[in-house]
Structure 1
Amino acid sequence: MSIEATRAARLRAVALIAVVLAGGGGYWLGTQRGGGTAATEATGPGGKILYYYDPMFPNQKFDKPGKSPFMDMQLMPKYADGAGPGAAPGVSIDSSAMQNLGIRVVAAKTGTLASTLNVTGNIEFNQRDVAVVQARSGGFVQRVYARAPGDVIGAGAPVADVQLPEWGGAQTEFLSVRRIGNPSLTAAARQRLRLLGMSDSVIAGVERSGRTNGTVTITSPISGVIQTLDARAGVTLAMGQTLAQVTGLGTVWLNAAVPEAQAGAVRVGQSATATLTAFPGETFGGRVIAILPTAQTDSRTLTVRIELANRGGRLRPGMFAQVGLGGDARPALLVPSEAVIRTGTRTIVMLASKDGRYHPAEVRTGREGGGQTEILEGLREGEQVVASGQFLLDSEASLTGIAVRPLGGAK
């Protein structure tokens, strides 16, 4: 290479270095006059801005505002917690971000909460209203009336005609003693007929006619549905053998499944209402008569037995019902149920401070009803809680490491 070419190359290199140094110096001067970079020195309504982030991806940080590359929304500023002297730790959100996130704040207040528990249940037969039709003496069935299991019969409806030879012999002795005219012997003979199972009407008929009647018509003592029917024509019967079993329909049981976590709110004698799709717009009232002592292990529920009047027999076993278990209303400190966050290990709410910051507080809850939850511990009346958008705030507080105010901290 010639001496002139080498000299020209050196001049071009020196010129390039001068341009780079001049650009860097100008940039350094600009940053010094402008007071620092936008990411470290920018301020907003909530104080000093540390960085910008997408609420749906809070781990990703950006040094300048703009639209999120992940979601169709603007990046939110992250303010320096505790920027002011004596400021409590918390999450800061400016007013525009609150509107975009749909954050709504309400005050905890004292109100009346009726403990209404809504569950489901099924209607079943009242197993306390059961009649067993038996043969009071040995014999055989002469006639069977047109009955079958599942038939609904009234009180006094005939089931079968049964011939009882022992009754015939006892009635003959009674008529013979009666002819003697000794009142004490007659009374004793009449009592023997009663012990054999004869009703007073049967005994009166024998006295009136003077003839024996060893055939008796077995009737149902109650109105209801035939559950079992073992009476068949020509069948020989032993004493005490069951001919039929009848279950009454005047009242039915509604077995409601109550979650074990809410079993403490139910008691015997409590009022209850039931609605069925078969009867839209109609409500059936009843009361709790028993809480069964065992829980269902698969569904973790307790069975609460409710007795309902069954006028006209419209409530049929097997029907599905929506059940409302009512209780006495009493005053309580209430917050919207949507404001409560249940993490599995504890229950918290997001508190809104007067300085615009948000921080979590642990609470102990009680009853629920009408979209309101009772706060037993952890809040004071008048404290502001976040009723919507609180999950984003809770996530941000967890990422920032803000401590949860413990129970007993609301003094």
Structure 2
Amino acid sequence: MSAHDGPAAGPPLGRWQKFRMVMKVVELRLRFVALMAATGLGFAYWDAIWNRYEKWNRPAGPAHAETSDFEHYCPMHPTVVQPSAGSCPICGMPLSKRQKGEETPLPAGVLSRVALSPDRIAQAGVRTVAASYAPLTETVTTVGTVEIDERRLRRIASKTKGMARVEKLHVDYTGIKVEAGRPLAEVYSPELYQATQEMLLHHRNVQARPAGASRALGDPQELVRLAAERLKLWGITQGQVDAILKAGAAETRLPILSPIDGVVIRKGVVEGDYVAEGQALFEVADLTSVWVKARIYENQFALVREGQAVRATVESYPGEVFEGRVAFVEPVLDPRTRTAVVRYDLANADLRLRPGMFAAVTLESPVAEAPAFRARLASRPDAGRARKATLTVAEQEKCLVTNAKLGSMGDPLPVEVDGRKLWICCAGCEVKLKGTPARYLARLDPAPKDAVLTIPESAVVDAGTRKVVYVEAEPGVFEGREVVLGPPSAGRYPVLEGLAPGEVVAAAGSFLIDAESRLNPRAAGKPRTPEKAAEAGGGSTRR
């Protein structure tokens, strides 16, 4: 063997040795993969592993009481919330059950409720006033025109049979003043002349007839009378008939006389015209009394009635007022203008008011006399109820404090106030009623004559489909309530429904309160549906 030869090769590996060597290599690689996988899982689930570690090593603490998912609250005082059932400490009403976090259903008639701290009230400038009775007058001002009194208008037409010729005009232009019986024109008619001749013939026969003559052919005097009646049908007066009989000669011209004193406002013929029977010749109007017609819109109908005082002014006589009373209101509405005509009569002896003049018409009506309020006056408490020492639940109807219907919050409770037995809806109202009895007892008094319940215009939030006011149910707690109002007058709204006398409303800052209820609807609450109200009414029984 050469010195350059390498060491001698070892003995060749057997099959089993080769297999073990391959498995060791695989084992080493699998360990490396497992180590890498464990490291990755540790990084991925480190938070969960650490949380479990802390939980296992945390010392045991005191046992916690099991909490309920429900709570109990007072529907009239939502700030009263208790974990268990019971009665409201304020009003004594049984508490209602609800799930925690559920919106509080508001009492019937209340749209929203907002609680404000004194600081918030001062910052918002909220000012409150009480709803009170006041006499309101609704004023309607509109444009009118002076027109002819249709009852004093006469149209003179031709009454002669056939065609008649206008021979002469005594009134040859319009605007002339005429007196009753004055001739306006003279017409000629052959039929009239013939009828006049027949009457004269019968009259001559009467004069020529000897006394005691036979009447076999009829009474000539009766024939004269019949002929005269025929002439009267053509417009000839009895005086004209007597004048014809006295003269003994037939007139070829028939004078057309004015039937009334007045002014000729229309002349329909000229001399030489031929006119037929029934054709209008003149129109004469008595202008010593005229009409003033004004138009009112349909939303003002309730404020106008017959006999109502009305006044008008015209530009021709500045500072002068022409007063009268509504004589007629048209029952039909003009579909084009959506207006109806109101008319009143006006004396015009000096003829200063001319038909066609424009007038500014003003109608003033007490709001209490409007039909909507008259209907409610019938249902208002009478004076006898206010003087009774004891009232039944049916007579009182509503709680004097909350204005809620008696029985809607459980059995009504009797209470003695100033020697009178009254009823309240819950025990919480007794303190308020006895604390300020004059404020609440005033709600039993009938409304003063010609007065309506009113609130300031600034207290009303017009939401488009409804009008809302915010009533101060408690100090700092305002409830939104829908009201039915009449038309505003003198800065105040008359109240038809929704408020009682003495209830306090937000007169300034009501829009800020409304904005707060919209921005925080959860705190404002949710109006109670009729079904919910029925359930609450049926489920709350006072022991």
TM-score, normalised by the number of residues in structure 2: 0.52
Unaligned 5+ segments in structure 2 are: 1-103, 105-112, 207-219, 370-448, 534-543
Q: Give the Cα–Cα distance (whole angstroms) in 2 for the partners of residues 128 and 361 of structure 1.
A: 53
Q: Give the Cα–Cα distance (whole angstroms) in 1 for the partners of residues 506 and 302 of structure 2.
A: 29
Flag the structure with higher strand content: 1
Question: Measured at CA, do residues 306 and 398 of structure 1 come closer, stay the same or move farther in structure 2, by a change above 3 Å?
Answer: farther
8 Å CA contact retained: 1:171, 1:213: yes
Q: Give the Cα–Cα distance (whole angstroms) in 1 for the partners of residues 296 and 525 of structure 2.
A: 36
Structure-1 residue corresponding to 2:248: 210
Q: Give the Cα–Cα distance (whole angstroms) in 2 for the partners of residues 256 and 183 of structure 1.
A: 57
Q: Give the Cα–Cα distance (whole angstroms) in 1 for the partners of residues 526 and 139 of structure 2.
A: 31
Structure-1 residue corresponding to 2:291: 253
Structure-2 residue corresponding to 1:165: 190
Q: CA deviation at 1:304?
A: 2.5
Q: Give the Cα–Cα distance (whole angstroms) in 1 for the partners of residues 364 and 504 of structure 2.
A: 31
8 Å CA contact retained: 1:292, 1:304: no
Question: Measured at CA, do residues 309 and 392 of structure 1 come closer, stay the same or move farther in structure 2, by a change above 3 Å?
Answer: farther
Q: Give the Cα–Cα distance (whole angstroms) in 2 for the partners of residues 241 and 407 of structure 1.
A: 73
Q: Give the Cα–Cα distance (whole angstroms) in 2 for the partners of residues 296 and 391 of structure 1.
A: 38
Read off the aligned partner of 2:123 and give its amino acid letter.
A
Could you list the per-position Cα deviations for residues 6-65 of structure 1 after superposition, in whole angstroms to 9, with x for gaps in the alignment? xxxxxxxxxxxxxxxxxxxxxxxxxxxxxxxxxxxxxxxxxxxxxxxxxxxxxxxxxxxx
8 Å CA contact retained: 2:202, 2:221: no
Q: CA deviation at 1:380?
A: 1.7
Structure-1 residue corresponding to 2:329: 290
- Quick check: 1:154 aligned with 2:274? no
Question: Measured at CA, do residues 184 and 318 of structure 1 come closer, stay the same or move farther in structure 2, by a change above 3 Å?
Answer: same
- SS of aligned partner of 2:332: strand
- Over the matched positions of the two proteins, sequence identity in percent amounts to 28
Mapping for residues 26-65 of structure 1, pairs under 5 Å: none
Q: Give the Cα–Cα distance (whole angstroms) in 1 for the partners of residues 480 and 493 of structure 2.
A: 17
Q: Give the Cα–Cα distance (whole angstroms) in 1 for the partners of residues 303 and 266 of structure 2.
A: 39
Q: Give the Cα–Cα distance (whole angstroms) in 2 for the partners of residues 341 and 301 of structure 1.
A: 29
Question: Measured at CA, do residues 324 and 127 of structure 1 come closer, stay the same or move farther in structure 2, by a change above 3 Å?
Answer: same
Q: Give the Cα–Cα distance (whole angstroms) in 2 for the partners of residues 305 and 404 of structure 1.
A: 51
Could you list the per-position Cα deviations for residues 154-186 of structure 1 after superposition, in whole angstroms to 9, with x for gaps in the alignment? 333543222233222222221221122243232
Q: Give the Cα–Cα distance (whole angstroms) in 1 for the partners of residues 249 and 529 of structure 2.
A: 88
Question: Measured at CA, do residues 386 and 123 of structure 1 come closer, stay the same or move farther in structure 2, by a change above 3 Å?
Answer: farther
Q: CA deviation at 1:225?
A: 4.5
Question: Measured at CA, do residues 105 and 322 of structure 1 come closer, stay the same or move farther in structure 2, by a change above 3 Å?
Answer: farther
Q: CA deviation at 1:407?
A: 12
Structure-1 residue corresponding to 2:360: 321
8 Å CA contact retained: 1:158, 1:220: yes
Structure-1 residue corresponding to 2:201: 176
Q: CA deviation at 1:359?
A: 4.3
Q: Give the Cα–Cα distance (whole angstroms) in 2 for the partners of residues 200 and 404 of structure 1.
A: 87
Structure-2 residue corresponding to 1:374: 494
Q: Which of 136, 155, 170 pairs up with 1:132?
A: 155
Q: Give the Cα–Cα distance (whole angstroms) in 2 for the partners of residues 224 and 216 of structure 1.
A: 22
- SS of aligned partner of 2:150: coil
Q: CA deviation at 1:222?
A: 2.9
Read off the aligned partner of 2:520 and give its amino acid letter.
T
Could you list the per-position Cα deviations for residues 112-154 of structure 1 after superposition, in whole angstroms to 9, with x for gaps in the alignment? 34555444433333334321111221321122245434x1523
Q: Give the Cα–Cα distance (whole angstroms) in 1 for the partners of residues 314 and 525 of structure 2.
A: 49
Read off the aligned partner of 2:244 and give its amino acid letter.
V
Question: Measured at CA, do residues 158 and 338 of structure 1 come closer, stay the same or move farther in structure 2, by a change above 3 Å?
Answer: farther
Q: Give the Cα–Cα distance (whole angstroms) in 1 for the partners of residues 515 and 488 of structure 2.
A: 25
Q: Give the Cα–Cα distance (whole angstroms) in 1 for the partners of residues 455 and 529 of structure 2.
A: 16
Q: Give the Cα–Cα distance (whole angstroms) in 1 for the partners of residues 525 and 292 of structure 2.
A: 48
8 Å CA contact retained: 2:145, 2:293: yes
Q: Which of 193, 201, 207 pairs up with 2:239?
A: 201
Q: CA deviation at 1:377?
A: 1.3
Q: Give the Cα–Cα distance (whole angstroms) in 1 for the partners of residues 154 and 497 of structure 2.
A: 53
- SS of aligned partner of 1:314: coil
Read off the aligned partner of 1:97 and give its amino acid letter.
Q
Structure 1: 4+ residue segments shifted above 6 A:
404-409
Q: Give the Cα–Cα distance (whole angstroms) in 2 for the partners of residues 186 and 254 of structure 1.
A: 49
Could you list the per-position Cα deviations for residues 340-388 of structure 1 after superposition, in whole angstroms to 9, with x for gaps in the alignment? 3333200122334552344432111135444432212111211222334
- SS of aligned partner of 1:294: coil
Structure-1 residue corresponding to 2:123: 97
Q: Give the Cα–Cα distance (whole angstroms) in 2 for the partners of residues 159 and 217 of structure 1.
A: 7
8 Å CA contact retained: 2:146, 2:290: yes
Q: Give the Cα–Cα distance (whole angstroms) in 2 for the partners of residues 230 and 107 of structure 1.
A: 68
Structure-1 residue corresponding to 2:450: 330
Q: Give the Cα–Cα distance (whole angstroms) in 2 for the partners of residues 353 and 268 of structure 1.
A: 43
Read off the aligned partner of 1:341 and give its amino acid letter.
V
- SS of aligned partner of 1:141: strand
Question: Measured at CA, do residues 248 and 396 of structure 1 come closer, stay the same or move farther in structure 2, by a change above 3 Å?
Answer: farther
Q: Give the Cα–Cα distance (whole angstroms) in 2 for the partners of residues 255 and 396 of structure 1.
A: 50
8 Å CA contact retained: 1:91, 1:397: no
8 Å CA contact retained: 1:155, 1:220: yes
Name the larger-Rg structure: 2
- Quick check: 1:344 aligned with 2:464? yes
Mapping for residues 367-406 of structure 1, pairs under 5 Å: 368-401=488-521, 402=524
Question: Measured at CA, do residues 403 and 174 of structure 1 come closer, stay the same or move farther in structure 2, by a change above 3 Å?
Answer: farther
Question: Measured at CA, do residues 270 and 385 of structure 1 come closer, stay the same or move farther in structure 2, by a change above 3 Å?
Answer: same
8 Å CA contact retained: 2:309, 2:323: no
Q: Give the Cα–Cα distance (whole angstroms) in 2 for the partners of residues 227 and 308 of structure 1.
A: 19
Read off the aligned partner of 2:223 and give its amino acid letter.
L
Read off the aligned partner of 2:153 and give its amino acid letter.
V
Question: Measured at CA, do residues 271 and 304 of structure 1 come closer, stay the same or move farther in structure 2, by a change above 3 Å?
Answer: same
Q: Give the Cα–Cα distance (whole angstroms) in 2 for the partners of residues 302 and 341 of structure 1.
A: 31
Q: Give the Cα–Cα distance (whole angstroms) in 2 for the partners of residues 132 and 117 of structure 1.
A: 36
Read off the aligned partner of 2:192 and give its amino acid letter.
W
- SS of aligned partner of 1:326: strand
- SS of aligned partner of 2:342: strand
Question: Measured at CA, do residues 335 and 218 of structure 1 come closer, stay the same or move farther in structure 2, by a change above 3 Å?
Answer: same
8 Å CA contact retained: 1:377, 1:407: no
8 Å CA contact retained: 1:347, 1:362: yes
Q: How many residues align?
A: 319
Question: Measured at CA, do residues 278 and 403 of structure 1 come closer, stay the same or move farther in structure 2, by a change above 3 Å?
Answer: farther
